[in-house]
Amino acid sequence: MNKKIKCVKIVPGCISCGTCEVTCPEVFEVKGVAEVKPNPDLQKNADLVREASYMCPVSVIQVEEEE
């Protein structure tokens, strides 16, 4: 079973490509640069959040997994 996600954040360096928003629009929004939406359902969207992190061309989406 996949671990739960504790939190997700976007560190500086986003190039506004839009991939994360397309991959997981319930969690990510690109307003100039990408942001995490307020109070996203990280568990429901866990696989898509991991996919967005993997797909980000500049690797600025950091996913913290629960222990």
Q: Using the rule CB under 6 A, is 56 a contact of ligand SF4?
A: yes
- Tell me how far apart the alpha carbons of residues 21 and 49 are, in angstroms, rounded to a whole number: 10
**Count of positions on this chain that bind ligand SF4 (CB under 6 A):** 15
Query: Using the rule CB under 6 A, is 49 a contact of ligand SF4?
Result: no
The answer to whether residue 27 forms part of the interface with ligand SF4 (CB under 6 A) is no
* Candidate ranges 1-9, 18-26, 42-50; the one touching ligand SF4 (CB under 6 A): 18-26
C-alpha atoms less than 13 angstroms from C-alpha of 38 in its C-beta half-sphere = 0
Determine which helix (DSSP H) or strand (DSSP E) holds 51, and give its type and residue range: helix 46-55
- Confirm or reject binding of residue 10 to ligand SF4 (CB under 6 A): yes
User: Residue 42, interface with ligand SF4 (CB under 6 A)?
Assistant: no
Taking the C-alpha atoms of residue 1 and residue 40, their distance in angstroms, rounded to an integer, is: 21
